[in-house]
Amino acid sequence: MVDLVWKCFPSLQVRVKRQSVMRMLPISSYGALVAFMLVTSFSCPLVSAQNLSIINIGALIAYDSSIGRVAKRAIEMAVADVNSNNSLLGGNKLVLHMLDTNCSAFQGAAAAIELLKKNVVAIIGPQTSAVSHFVAHVGAAIQVPFITYAATDPSLSESQYPFLFRIAHTDAVQMEVVASLIDYYGWREVVILYLDDDFGGNGASSLSDALINITARVVQKAALPPDIDKYTLGNILARLVGIQTRIFVVHMPQNLASMLFAEARNLGMMSAGYVWIVTDSYAGTWTSLDASTNVFGGLQGVIGIQGYYQNDTLQFKSFLSGWNFRFPGSVLPHLYGLYAYDSVWFLVHALKAYLLDHSNVTFHQSALVPNGFANSSDMAHLNVFEGGSSLRTHLLQTNFQGVSGRIQVGPNGDLVRSEFEILNVVGHDLRVVGYWTTNTQLSVFRPGNSMNASSNSLGPDDAPHTLLQVVWPGSVTKTPRGWVLPKNGRPLKIAVPNKAGFKQFVSWSGNSSNVFNGFCIDVFQMALNYLPYSVPYTFVPFGINGPPVYDDMIDRLAEKIYDAVVGDLTITTKRMEKVDFSQPYVESGLVVVVPFKDANTSNEWAFLRPFTTKMWITTFLFFIFTGMVIWMLEHKKNRDFRGKPKKQVVTLLWFTFSTLFFSQREKTKSACGRFVLLVWLFVVLIITSSYTANLTSILTVQQLIPTIQGITSLQSMNVPVGYQAGSFARDYLISINIAKERLKPLSNMAEYERALNQGPNGGGVAAIVDEVPYVQAFLSSYCGFTIAGQVFTKSGWGFAFPKDSELAVDMSTAILSMSENGEMQKIHDLWLSSKSCDSGSTQVQSNKLDLGSFWGLFLITGLASLAGLLIYIIRLFCAFVRKGPPDNQEESVSRSARFLKSFAAYAMEAHPSASEKGGSTHGSKKGKNHGEDGCINESKLDKQQNETATSQVRVDLNGMQW
């Protein structure tokens, strides 16, 4: 044996010879030294075998921890129970080697190496995830399984740890339970406080991943060092008091969690409005706490999540009986104590199957450590378990009912069963308010039992996917909304579009007070009154230097420059990708507005439609004016225009309106009268022709289908289209292939009316595309327009908030309440007029002929009449002066009055020729002589020519060409 030692340890031989140690050692020391070197050396490929009557197993426990104190007793109890039954392992006994990790990753790693040097076939533990990451690699190298009962880090499930098995639930599954609770109560933002190590950090990441699936998120993470003091912890919690979120998830062991809740209570964070959810790293130890010490006094209303186990099974009752017998007067075992107990039995069941296939437990030296470290590192003293791969296979196949439930692991070594119970701390008790499994999610039915059995249900059978009533912090039963406005003293900065038109929706006073009015503002302010809390805010105008671009306003909100946007804001897909919207308070959608086309032209007043009212009045006045001028020109010498006053009035009106049909019977005698009549007949001809053409158009053309019938017609026509400046309508029209050059921005209703009336040929537009609320307001104020086609791109108006804003949810609830109780309709009726144009009296302004089209003609005939009348008066005056005034004037009247009276009498005096019968001649003299009337008298030849000309001009009404 000594020769073998020298052969295998030449370096030791040199040292021993040099120091003459060999001569000084007794025989027993030689044996011990030889045995040690045979077991620990890597230089010679020796194989060692354990005595089959003893099987070494290890355990890594943090003695001075709430989990470790119970787990230590549970493991010792399990080993004792196994050894008390000789038939389990074929007469072999388990030898337990237990070391303290002291909650230290370094000490835990060192303790694991010490256990592995003892050639243990498996290790129960480690207790912490930090130690597990290290020893799992070592276990894979030397093929020794590690069965942890408390390491829940999700990253330990990776394939790089094939020899790590977990009896406890992984945090990845547990955080799904937390996410289900968050989703069940409708919360969207949470804060997680966790231990700053692998266990806490990876658990927090799992919560973030789980919340993504329910469109919630972790808004803040608070990593707490293991050695944090109360002062630092208090400062961290004080900062969390000032944020908006009130949902807190605690993921840390008992000692740190107890200190956290004590500080939270001092800061008032255990009052109404707060929500605390505790994972099983702390909640799993609650059953071992002594309720008589008022330990739950600082946890009132807290929700806890722990793995579910049945306490009425035979296995659990037997375990509890043995526990009370071995450890009388001790605290009850908590969940992790059950996991530790089942971990030993999990190994025993696998060892039992292993021993059926193997006669012994064999280790051999590893060649993984470089030669230079073979004698200088503890790693060099680790042997490889030859049956480790086989034992791993049996562990994966193990399936039994333990005290904590069904024990079976999957291919990755994690527990297959995922069953949790939801606890609520109320008074000194723990109330179960529900359960969670991967199949049923949240439920009132106990896992593993039929959902039809009412005895297995906590609540009503007709609502299985619910939870019982929870008592929240502050002893309130109403579910907290989960957030409050930040307590930083700053009111919400709300952007409001400064519109140039449509003031009934949003209007700004334009001064420094930032006072806004309108339908949208009233809806927002009324909705705030429905919130169960006050919201300080200030309005900020957007778009002072030009029309507000709504997409730019949304971008500012997404960048957190504003806290909200209030106004006539349309909800679109593009905008919803950047911000959140409230429930729509107005239904909207794009429509096409075109000039009104009245199809009902067959009414009793259709003949008045060709002209506007001003045109009709002006034409009538010119008829009277022209008739009066001709009467004045013809009165002195034309017998037809003389007689009694009543007869002269009738003659005047008859002659005037007869010219409308060119059928006047009275003949004009004077050249001035003929000139005025000729000009007037020309004007009448133009007016009657225009009237006839326009009436024909109204009665026939307007009954055809309009060329613009909707958005499809606009796409195919090359006509200008109007839209409201700053709205999303422009981007939509461009997206449906309407060229930018065709689009014309308009700001207010006056511009709408002007552009539509002008039409595409007059510098206006053929149609306007805008949202329904604007169009309704426009049509209620301006008649003569209508909507062509149907509503497209249906949407609505809402208030915008930053992403994941809880205020958006509360505002949506308030808007729905306002709609249901009629408050929304009252605001609508206050600001938005419901009047509409009467279709029976609506006139199509675009088809009527107005005064502007004929003012030139009226100017010509008016000047001609005035010129003829002026010439007549001048020549009449000259003739009166030559004749001289009569001598029999009254002396009592002034000279000027006598002169005017004489001139008036002279003007009304009939010409001698006017008294002749037949009125066919104006004098007996041949040739042309100047008469008293100032105009030239015609000869008989002239009179015949005049009669011929008059007969040619006179046109029979029945022969006119319409």
More confident of the two residues 824 and 649: 824
Q: Looking at the predicted structure, is the pLDDT value of residue 43 above 70?
A: no
CA 800, distance to chain mean position in Å, is 7
Q: Can you give the pLDDT at residue 869?
A: 81
Q: Looking at the predicted structure, is the pLDDT value of residue 511 above 90?
A: no
More confident of the two residues 706 and 14: 706
pLDDT tens for each residue of 285-319: 998 876 656 778 889 999 999 999 998 899 999 99
Instruction: Answer whether 173-308+419-456 and 499-585+798-821 agree in fold.
Output: no
Enter the pTM of the model.
Answer: 0.62
Count the helix, strand and coil residues of the chain and give each as a percent rounded to the nearest 5. 45, 15, 35
Task: Please tell me whether residue 228 adopts helix, strand or coil conformation.
Answer: coil
Question: What is the C-alpha to C-alpha distance for residues 400 and 342, in angstroms, rounded to an integer?
Answer: 10
Out of 50-59, 216-225, 258-267, least confident range: 50-59
586 DSSP β-pair partners = 797
Q: Is the peptide bond before 126 cis (omega within 30 degrees of 0)?
A: yes
More confident of the two residues 369 and 324: 324
> Taking all residues of the chain, what is their mean pLDDT, rounded to a whole number?
80
List, in order, residues 6 or more apart from 862 with CB less than 8 Å away: 622, 625
Question: What is the C-alpha to C-alpha distance for residues 240 and 257, in angstroms, rounded to an integer?
Answer: 16
Architecture of domain 173-308+419-456: 3-Layer(aba) Sandwich (3.40)
More confident of the two residues 715 and 282: 282
Q: Can you give the pLDDT at residue 801?
A: 95
Q: Can you give the pLDDT at residue 670?
A: 75
Task: Please tell me whether residue 8 adopts helix, strand or coil conformation.
Answer: helix
Q: Looking at the predicted structure, is the pLDDT value of residue 438 above 80?
A: yes
The candidate with the shortest Cα–Cα distance to 506, out of 832, 734, 779, 741, is 832
- What are the backbone angles phi and psi of residue 95, rounded to the nearest 5°? -115, 115
Q: Can you give the pLDDT at residue 291?
A: 61
Out of 109-113, 114-118, 138-142, 692-696, least confident range: 692-696
Average pLDDT, stretch 782-798? 85
Average pLDDT, stretch 260-279? 94
State the pairing for strand pair 429-437/419-426. antiparallel
Proportion of the chain above pLDDT 70, given as a percent: 76
> Is residue 55 a contact partner of residue 318, using CB atoms and an 8 Å limit?
no
Question: What is the C-alpha to C-alpha distance for residues 439 and 416, in angstroms, rounded to an integer?
Answer: 12
Out of 321-335, 473-487, 629-643, 853-867, least confident range: 629-643
Q: Looking at the predicted structure, is the pLDDT value of residue 453 above 70?
A: no
Q: Can you give the pLDDT at residue 355?
A: 92
Q: Can you give the pLDDT at residue 727?
A: 85
Task: Give first-to-last CA distance, the chain, whole Å.
Answer: 141
Question: What is the C-alpha to C-alpha distance for residues 350 and 664, in angstroms, rounded to an integer?
Answer: 129
- What are the backbone angles phi and psi of residue 323, rounded to the nearest 5°? -65, -50
Q: How confident is the model at residue 610 (pLDDT cuts 50, 70, 90)?
A: confident
Proportion of the chain above pLDDT 90, given as a percent: 42
Q: Looking at the predicted structure, is the pLDDT value of residue 601 above 60?
A: no
Question: What is the C-alpha to C-alpha distance for residues 340 and 655, in angstroms, rounded to an integer?
Answer: 124
The fold for domain 499-585+798-821 equals D-Maltodextrin-Binding Protein; domain 2 (3.40.190)
Q: Looking at the predicted structure, is the pLDDT value of residue 675 above 70?
A: yes
The candidate with the shortest Cα–Cα distance to 277, out of 254, 297, 247, 306, is 247
Kindly list the strands in the beta sheet with 383-385, ordered across the sheet, starting from the edge strand earlier in the chain: 47-50, 361-365, 383-385
Q: Can you give the pLDDT at residue 837?
A: 61
List, in order, residues 6 or more apart from 535 with CB less than 8 Å away: 485, 492, 528, 807
Q: Looking at the predicted structure, is the pLDDT value of residue 120 above 50?
A: yes
Structure tokens at 959: 């022969």
Q: Looking at the predicted structure, is the pLDDT value of residue 75 above 90?
A: yes
List, in order, residues 6 or more apart from 380 with CB less than 8 Å away: 40, 42, 369, 373, 374
Of 159-173, 371-385, 690-704, 894-908, where does the model show the most confidence? 159-173
Q: How confident is the model at residue 824 (pLDDT cuts 50, 70, 90)?
A: very high
> Is residue 371 a contact partner of residue 171, using CB atoms and an 8 Å limit?
no
More confident of the two residues 438 and 925: 438
Angle formed by the axes of helices 855-883 and 613-634, nearest 10°: 20
CB atoms within 10 A of CB 759: 15
Q: How confident is the model at residue 369 (pLDDT cuts 50, 70, 90)?
A: low
pLDDT tens for each residue of 863-919: 888 888 888 788 777 877 777 656 555 555 566 676 676 666 666 665 555 444 444
Question: What is the C-alpha to C-alpha distance for residues 110 and 101, in angstroms, rounded to an integer?
Answer: 8
More confident of the two residues 238 and 465: 238
Question: What is the C-alpha to C-alpha distance for residues 310 and 68, in angstroms, rounded to an integer?
Answer: 22
More confident of the two residues 888 and 78: 78
Q: Can you give the pLDDT at residue 40?
A: 38
Q: Can you give the pLDDT at residue 162?
A: 94
What is the four-CA torsion angle of 785, 789, 795, 800, rounded to 10 degrees? -30
Q: How confident is the model at residue 665 (pLDDT cuts 50, 70, 90)?
A: low
Average pLDDT, stretch 744-760? 90
**Per-domain residue ranges for the chain?**
1-40, 173-308+419-456, 499-585+798-821, 606-700+852-953
Structure tokens at 328: 């009388």
Average pLDDT, stretch 537-565? 90
The candidate with the shortest Cα–Cα distance to 482, out of 211, 246, 237, 270, is 246
Q: Is the peptide bond before 645 cis (omega within 30 degrees of 0)?
A: no
pLDDT tens for each residue of 825-841: 999 888 886 666 654 44
Q: How confident is the model at residue 676 (pLDDT cuts 50, 70, 90)?
A: confident
Average pLDDT, stretch 671-700? 81
Q: Looking at the predicted structure, is the pLDDT value of residue 535 above 70?
A: yes
pLDDT tens for each residue of 590-599: 999 988 655 5
Q: Looking at the predicted structure, is the pLDDT value of residue 28 above 70?
A: no
Q: Looking at the predicted structure, is the pLDDT value of residue 262 above 90?
A: yes
Out of 187-191, 715-719, 732-736, least confident range: 715-719
Question: What is the C-alpha to C-alpha distance for residues 755 and 758, in angstroms, rounded to an integer?
Answer: 5
Q: How confident is the model at residue 461 (pLDDT cuts 50, 70, 90)?
A: low
Indicate the residue type of 572: T
Q: Can you give the pLDDT at residue 348?
A: 96
More confident of the two residues 945 and 338: 338
Q: Can you give the pLDDT at residue 577?
A: 92
Q: Can you give the pLDDT at residue 449?
A: 61
CA-CA-CA-CA torsion sign (690, 696, 701, 702): positive
> Is residue 693 a contact partner of residue 962, using CB atoms and an 8 Å limit?
no
Average pLDDT, stretch 750-771? 90
Q: Can you give the pLDDT at residue 495?
A: 94
pLDDT tens for each residue of 147-185: 999 999 999 988 889 999 999 999 999 999 999 999 999
